[in-house]
Amino acid sequence: MKTAASRLLSADAAGISQAAALLRAGELVAFPTETVYGLGADARNGEAVAAIFEAKGRPTFNPLIVHLADTTMAKSFVNWTESANRLARAFWPGPLTLVLPLREGHGLSTLVTAGLPTVALRVPAGPVAHALLHAVGGPVAAPSANPSGRISATTAAHVSAGLGDRIAAILDNGPCSVGLESTIVGLDGPPTLLRAGGLPVEDIEACLGHPLLTAEAAQITAPGQMLSHYAPRARLRLDAAGPHAGEVVLGFGPMPCDVNLSPSGDLREAAARLFDCLHQLDAMGQPIAVAPVPRHGLGLAINDRLARAAAPRP
Protein backbone atom coordinates (compact mmCIF):
# COMPACT_ATOMS: atom_id res chain seq x y z
CA MET A 1 0.00 0.00 0.00
CA LYS A 2 1.20 3.52 -0.83
CA THR A 3 2.10 5.70 2.11
CA ALA A 4 3.22 8.85 0.26
CA ALA A 5 0.51 11.35 -0.65
CA SER A 6 -0.94 10.78 -4.11
CA ARG A 7 -0.09 13.01 -7.04
CA LEU A 8 -2.78 15.52 -7.99
CA LEU A 9 -2.91 15.61 -11.80
CA SER A 10 -4.72 18.32 -13.70
CA ALA A 11 -7.20 17.21 -16.35
CA ASP A 12 -5.14 18.40 -19.33
CA ALA A 13 -3.36 16.33 -21.98
CA ALA A 14 -0.24 15.85 -19.82
CA GLY A 15 -2.21 14.89 -16.69
CA ILE A 16 -4.40 12.47 -18.62
CA SER A 17 -1.46 10.74 -20.24
CA GLN A 18 0.32 10.40 -16.87
CA ALA A 19 -2.85 8.95 -15.32
CA ALA A 20 -3.17 6.48 -18.22
CA ALA A 21 0.48 5.43 -17.89
CA LEU A 22 0.04 4.81 -14.15
CA LEU A 23 -3.09 2.71 -14.76
CA ARG A 24 -1.33 0.67 -17.44
CA ALA A 25 1.52 0.09 -14.98
CA GLY A 26 -0.88 -1.45 -12.45
CA GLU A 27 -1.22 1.59 -10.15
CA LEU A 28 -4.44 2.98 -8.65
CA VAL A 29 -5.68 6.30 -10.04
CA ALA A 30 -8.85 8.14 -9.01
CA PHE A 31 -10.54 9.76 -12.00
CA PRO A 32 -13.61 11.90 -12.63
CA THR A 33 -16.78 10.58 -14.22
CA GLU A 34 -20.06 12.46 -14.56
CA THR A 35 -21.53 10.49 -11.62
CA VAL A 36 -18.82 10.28 -8.93
CA TYR A 37 -15.02 9.91 -8.84
CA GLY A 38 -13.96 6.32 -9.56
CA LEU A 39 -10.99 4.50 -8.01
CA GLY A 40 -9.53 2.95 -11.15
CA ALA A 41 -7.27 -0.01 -11.85
CA ASP A 42 -6.48 -2.06 -14.97
CA ALA A 43 -9.36 -4.57 -15.02
CA ARG A 44 -7.11 -7.25 -16.56
CA ASN A 45 -4.57 -7.03 -13.74
CA GLY A 46 -5.73 -9.06 -10.72
CA GLU A 47 -3.22 -7.59 -8.28
CA ALA A 48 -4.11 -4.04 -9.32
CA VAL A 49 -7.80 -4.88 -8.77
CA ALA A 50 -6.97 -6.44 -5.39
CA ALA A 51 -5.27 -3.16 -4.47
CA ILE A 52 -8.62 -1.36 -4.98
CA PHE A 53 -10.22 -3.46 -2.24
CA GLU A 54 -7.15 -2.96 -0.04
CA ALA A 55 -7.22 0.83 -0.47
CA LYS A 56 -10.97 1.08 0.18
CA GLY A 57 -10.76 -1.28 3.16
CA ARG A 58 -13.74 -3.18 1.73
CA PRO A 59 -14.48 -6.18 3.96
CA THR A 60 -16.09 -8.06 1.04
CA PHE A 61 -15.37 -8.65 -2.63
CA ASN A 62 -18.29 -7.07 -4.47
CA PRO A 63 -18.00 -7.20 -8.24
CA LEU A 64 -16.85 -3.92 -9.78
CA ILE A 65 -18.00 -1.86 -12.75
CA VAL A 66 -15.69 -1.95 -15.78
CA HIS A 67 -15.34 1.42 -17.53
CA LEU A 68 -14.71 1.67 -21.26
CA ALA A 69 -14.05 4.41 -23.79
CA ASP A 70 -16.86 3.41 -26.14
CA THR A 71 -19.51 0.84 -27.04
CA THR A 72 -17.25 -0.99 -29.49
CA MET A 73 -14.80 -1.73 -26.70
CA ALA A 74 -17.63 -2.77 -24.38
CA LYS A 75 -18.93 -5.29 -26.92
CA SER A 76 -15.59 -7.09 -27.01
CA PHE A 77 -16.04 -8.41 -23.44
CA VAL A 78 -19.65 -9.64 -23.46
CA ASN A 79 -22.37 -11.36 -25.40
CA TRP A 80 -24.18 -8.26 -26.59
CA THR A 81 -27.99 -8.23 -26.76
CA GLU A 82 -30.70 -6.26 -28.56
CA SER A 83 -31.72 -4.52 -25.30
CA ALA A 84 -28.09 -3.62 -24.67
CA ASN A 85 -27.93 -2.11 -28.12
CA ARG A 86 -30.98 0.06 -27.56
CA LEU A 87 -29.89 1.27 -24.15
CA ALA A 88 -26.29 1.90 -25.17
CA ARG A 89 -27.39 3.88 -28.24
CA ALA A 90 -29.73 5.99 -26.14
CA PHE A 91 -27.70 6.52 -22.97
CA TRP A 92 -23.97 5.89 -23.53
CA PRO A 93 -21.83 7.71 -22.75
CA GLY A 94 -23.78 8.37 -19.55
CA PRO A 95 -24.82 7.29 -16.03
CA LEU A 96 -26.02 3.80 -16.98
CA THR A 97 -24.33 0.47 -16.17
CA LEU A 98 -25.31 -2.71 -18.01
CA VAL A 99 -24.72 -6.21 -16.60
CA LEU A 100 -24.17 -8.72 -19.40
CA PRO A 101 -22.87 -12.28 -19.79
CA LEU A 102 -19.10 -12.48 -20.19
CA ARG A 103 -17.74 -13.62 -23.49
CA GLU A 104 -15.25 -16.50 -23.72
CA GLY A 105 -11.64 -15.26 -23.57
CA HIS A 106 -12.63 -11.85 -22.12
CA GLY A 107 -9.31 -11.48 -20.29
CA LEU A 108 -10.75 -9.61 -17.28
CA SER A 109 -9.49 -10.46 -13.79
CA THR A 110 -11.92 -12.82 -12.04
CA LEU A 111 -11.74 -10.52 -9.00
CA VAL A 112 -13.49 -7.79 -11.05
CA THR A 113 -16.55 -10.00 -11.48
CA ALA A 114 -16.16 -11.83 -8.14
CA GLY A 115 -16.08 -15.05 -10.13
CA LEU A 116 -19.52 -14.43 -11.71
CA PRO A 117 -20.27 -15.25 -15.36
CA THR A 118 -21.51 -11.66 -15.88
CA VAL A 119 -19.83 -8.25 -15.84
CA ALA A 120 -21.07 -4.70 -15.21
CA LEU A 121 -20.03 -2.30 -18.00
CA ARG A 122 -20.29 1.44 -18.36
CA VAL A 123 -19.14 4.10 -20.82
CA PRO A 124 -18.95 7.24 -18.67
CA ALA A 125 -19.70 10.69 -20.07
CA GLY A 126 -17.40 13.67 -20.11
CA PRO A 127 -14.35 14.48 -22.19
CA VAL A 128 -11.87 13.74 -19.39
CA ALA A 129 -13.15 10.22 -18.61
CA HIS A 130 -13.33 9.52 -22.32
CA ALA A 131 -9.81 10.80 -23.01
CA LEU A 132 -8.41 8.81 -20.09
CA LEU A 133 -10.09 5.53 -21.09
CA HIS A 134 -9.08 6.08 -24.69
CA ALA A 135 -5.47 6.66 -23.60
CA VAL A 136 -5.49 3.53 -21.42
CA GLY A 137 -6.85 1.62 -24.42
CA GLY A 138 -8.36 -1.05 -22.19
CA PRO A 139 -10.91 -1.78 -19.46
CA VAL A 140 -10.68 0.12 -16.16
CA ALA A 141 -12.36 -1.35 -13.07
CA ALA A 142 -13.59 1.32 -10.67
CA PRO A 143 -15.80 1.52 -7.60
CA SER A 144 -16.58 4.92 -6.13
CA ALA A 145 -13.38 6.53 -4.81
CA ASN A 146 -14.25 6.60 -1.11
CA PRO A 147 -13.16 4.44 1.82
CA SER A 148 -15.62 1.60 2.45
CA GLY A 149 -18.74 2.73 4.31
CA ARG A 150 -18.21 6.43 3.62
CA ILE A 151 -20.10 8.57 1.13
CA SER A 152 -19.03 8.70 -2.50
CA ALA A 153 -16.48 11.30 -3.59
CA THR A 154 -17.66 13.99 -6.00
CA THR A 155 -14.55 16.22 -5.89
CA ALA A 156 -10.81 15.55 -5.97
CA ALA A 157 -10.62 16.99 -2.44
CA HIS A 158 -13.05 14.31 -1.17
CA VAL A 159 -10.89 11.63 -2.79
CA SER A 160 -7.75 13.10 -1.34
CA ALA A 161 -9.22 13.31 2.17
CA GLY A 162 -10.40 9.68 2.11
CA LEU A 163 -7.79 7.82 0.07
CA GLY A 164 -4.99 10.31 -0.60
CA ASP A 165 -2.27 8.32 1.16
CA ARG A 166 -3.24 5.02 -0.48
CA ILE A 167 -3.31 5.67 -4.22
CA ALA A 168 -0.83 6.79 -6.86
CA ALA A 169 -2.70 9.77 -8.30
CA ILE A 170 -5.94 11.72 -8.54
CA LEU A 171 -7.00 13.24 -11.85
CA ASP A 172 -8.74 16.48 -10.86
CA ASN A 173 -11.57 17.72 -13.03
CA GLY A 174 -13.57 19.67 -10.46
CA PRO A 175 -16.96 18.55 -9.17
CA CYS A 176 -18.97 15.74 -10.85
CA SER A 177 -22.07 16.94 -12.68
CA VAL A 178 -24.50 14.14 -11.71
CA GLY A 179 -23.22 13.48 -8.19
CA LEU A 180 -25.07 10.18 -7.88
CA GLU A 181 -23.87 6.70 -8.93
CA SER A 182 -24.99 5.17 -12.22
CA THR A 183 -28.26 3.29 -12.61
CA ILE A 184 -27.56 -0.45 -13.00
CA VAL A 185 -29.65 -2.66 -15.30
CA GLY A 186 -29.20 -6.44 -15.48
CA LEU A 187 -29.46 -7.80 -19.02
CA ASP A 188 -28.45 -11.41 -18.44
CA GLY A 189 -32.17 -12.20 -18.32
CA PRO A 190 -35.27 -10.00 -18.66
CA PRO A 191 -34.13 -6.36 -18.14
CA THR A 192 -33.97 -5.81 -14.36
CA LEU A 193 -33.29 -2.72 -12.25
CA LEU A 194 -30.38 -3.65 -9.97
CA ARG A 195 -29.67 -0.17 -8.57
CA ALA A 196 -31.47 3.14 -8.98
CA GLY A 197 -29.07 5.95 -9.81
CA GLY A 198 -28.25 8.93 -11.98
CA LEU A 199 -30.37 7.89 -14.98
CA PRO A 200 -34.12 7.92 -14.26
CA VAL A 201 -35.81 4.51 -14.52
CA GLU A 202 -38.65 6.09 -16.55
CA ASP A 203 -36.20 7.04 -19.29
CA ILE A 204 -34.91 3.47 -19.48
CA GLU A 205 -38.42 2.01 -19.58
CA ALA A 206 -39.48 4.48 -22.28
CA CYS A 207 -36.47 3.44 -24.36
CA LEU A 208 -37.18 -0.29 -23.97
CA GLY A 209 -40.93 0.14 -24.35
CA HIS A 210 -41.70 -1.95 -21.25
CA PRO A 211 -41.19 -1.81 -17.47
CA LEU A 212 -38.03 -3.14 -15.84
CA LEU A 213 -38.30 -6.06 -13.44
CA THR A 214 -37.35 -5.20 -9.89
CA ALA A 215 -34.54 -7.03 -8.11
CA GLU A 216 -37.14 -8.58 -5.76
CA ALA A 217 -39.21 -9.86 -8.67
CA ALA A 218 -36.06 -11.29 -10.22
CA GLN A 219 -35.30 -12.91 -6.82
CA ILE A 220 -31.95 -11.30 -6.15
CA THR A 221 -30.96 -9.51 -2.98
CA ALA A 222 -31.13 -5.75 -2.51
CA PRO A 223 -29.11 -3.38 -4.69
CA GLY A 224 -25.82 -2.21 -3.28
CA GLN A 225 -25.41 -5.55 -1.56
CA MET A 226 -24.01 -8.58 -3.25
CA LEU A 227 -26.50 -9.35 -5.97
CA SER A 228 -25.27 -12.85 -6.47
CA HIS A 229 -22.17 -14.86 -5.71
CA TYR A 230 -20.19 -17.44 -7.52
CA ALA A 231 -20.95 -20.53 -5.42
CA PRO A 232 -18.66 -23.56 -5.77
CA ARG A 233 -20.55 -26.87 -5.90
CA ALA A 234 -17.91 -28.54 -3.76
CA ARG A 235 -18.15 -28.44 0.04
CA LEU A 236 -15.51 -26.24 1.74
CA ARG A 237 -13.93 -26.86 5.16
CA LEU A 238 -12.23 -23.71 6.49
CA ASP A 239 -9.11 -23.25 8.63
CA ALA A 240 -8.11 -26.85 7.92
CA ALA A 241 -4.83 -27.96 9.49
CA GLY A 242 -4.56 -30.69 6.85
CA PRO A 243 -6.74 -32.66 4.43
CA HIS A 244 -9.18 -35.40 5.41
CA ALA A 245 -9.40 -38.43 3.12
CA GLY A 246 -10.79 -37.47 -0.29
CA GLU A 247 -10.33 -33.70 0.10
CA VAL A 248 -8.35 -31.44 -2.19
CA VAL A 249 -6.40 -28.62 -0.53
CA LEU A 250 -6.49 -24.87 -1.13
CA GLY A 251 -3.23 -23.62 0.36
CA PHE A 252 -1.87 -20.29 1.51
CA GLY A 253 1.86 -19.76 2.04
CA PRO A 254 4.55 -22.44 1.57
CA MET A 255 2.85 -25.82 2.08
CA PRO A 256 1.89 -28.97 0.17
CA CYS A 257 -1.51 -28.47 -1.52
CA ASP A 258 -3.40 -28.89 -4.80
CA VAL A 259 -3.83 -25.19 -5.55
CA ASN A 260 -2.13 -22.33 -3.69
CA LEU A 261 -3.63 -18.84 -3.25
CA SER A 262 -0.13 -17.44 -2.77
CA PRO A 263 2.91 -19.67 -2.15
CA SER A 264 4.74 -16.68 -0.65
CA GLY A 265 1.83 -15.77 1.65
CA ASP A 266 1.05 -12.46 -0.10
CA LEU A 267 -2.56 -11.38 0.55
CA ARG A 268 -2.78 -9.23 -2.57
CA GLU A 269 -1.77 -12.15 -4.77
CA ALA A 270 -4.18 -14.39 -2.86
CA ALA A 271 -7.07 -11.97 -3.45
CA ALA A 272 -6.25 -11.72 -7.14
CA ARG A 273 -6.24 -15.53 -7.48
CA LEU A 274 -9.13 -16.41 -5.14
CA PHE A 275 -11.92 -16.98 -7.68
CA ASP A 276 -9.62 -18.69 -10.21
CA CYS A 277 -8.46 -21.07 -7.48
CA LEU A 278 -12.03 -21.85 -6.38
CA HIS A 279 -13.08 -22.53 -9.98
CA GLN A 280 -10.04 -24.81 -10.50
CA LEU A 281 -10.67 -26.81 -7.33
CA ASP A 282 -14.42 -27.00 -7.99
CA ALA A 283 -13.66 -28.62 -11.35
CA MET A 284 -11.88 -31.45 -9.49
CA GLY A 285 -15.26 -32.45 -8.02
CA GLN A 286 -14.01 -33.23 -4.49
CA PRO A 287 -14.57 -31.48 -1.14
CA ILE A 288 -12.07 -28.69 -0.45
CA ALA A 289 -9.97 -28.21 2.70
CA VAL A 290 -8.94 -24.55 2.99
CA ALA A 291 -5.75 -23.61 4.85
CA PRO A 292 -6.02 -20.71 7.34
CA VAL A 293 -5.71 -17.24 5.75
CA PRO A 294 -4.69 -14.37 8.08
CA ARG A 295 -7.59 -12.11 9.11
CA HIS A 296 -6.09 -8.70 8.43
CA GLY A 297 -5.96 -6.38 5.41
CA LEU A 298 -7.26 -8.16 2.31
CA GLY A 299 -7.42 -11.34 4.41
CA LEU A 300 -10.73 -10.09 5.86
CA ALA A 301 -12.41 -10.00 2.45
CA ILE A 302 -10.81 -13.32 1.49
CA ASN A 303 -12.15 -14.96 4.68
CA ASP A 304 -15.57 -13.36 4.15
CA ARG A 305 -15.74 -14.83 0.66
CA LEU A 306 -14.55 -18.26 1.81
CA ALA A 307 -17.13 -18.26 4.63
CA ARG A 308 -19.92 -17.51 2.11
CA ALA A 309 -18.62 -20.27 -0.14
CA ALA A 310 -18.60 -22.69 2.82
CA ALA A 311 -22.08 -21.74 4.09
CA PRO A 312 -24.79 -24.38 3.62
CA ARG A 313 -26.93 -23.69 0.56
CA PRO A 314 -30.52 -24.60 -0.22
- Count the neighbouring beta carbons within 10 Å of the beta carbon of residue 18: 18
Q: Pairing mode, if any, of strands 7-10 and 169-172?
A: parallel
- Three-state secondary structure call for residue 290: strand
Which one of 3-11, 21-29, 142-150, 289-297 is the stretch in contact with Mg ion (CB under 5 A)? Answer: 142-150
122 binds, among Mg ion, ligand TXA, none (CB under 5 to 8 A by kind): ligand TXA
For residues 253 and 264, is the Cβ–Cβ distance under 8 A? yes
**CA separation for the pair 30, 170 (Å, rounded):** 5
Chain center to CA of 109 = 9
Q: What residues pair up with 306 in beta bridges, in sequence order?
A: none
Q: Which of residues 87-126 bind ligand TXA (CB under 6 A)?
A: 97, 99, 113, 116, 118-120, 122, 124
Complex with ligand TXA: residue 9 or 66, whichever CB lies closer: 66
Q: Which of residues 204-263 bind ligand TXA (CB under 6 A)?
A: 224, 227
Which one of 131-139, 143-151, 236-244, 269-277 is the stretch in contact with Mg ion (CB under 5 A)? Answer: 143-151
119 binds, among Mg ion, ligand TXA, none (CB under 5 to 8 A by kind): ligand TXA
Q: Could you tell me how many residues of this chain bind Mg ion (CB under 5 A)?
A: 1
User: Integer distance in angstroms from the first to the last C-alpha of the chain?
Assistant: 39
73 binds, among ligand TXA, Mg ion, none (CB under 5 to 8 A by kind): none
Instruction: Return the residue of 7, 8, 17, 62 that touches ligand TXA, per CB under 6 A.
Output: 62
For residues 288 and 281, is the Cβ–Cβ distance under 8 A? yes
**CA separation for the pair 76, 59 (Å, rounded):** 31
The residues binding ligand TXA (CB under 6 A) are 33, 35-36, 38, 62-65, 97, 99, 113, 116, 118-120, 122, 124, 142-144, 181-182, 184, 194-195, 224, 227
The residues binding Mg ion (CB under 5 A) are 144
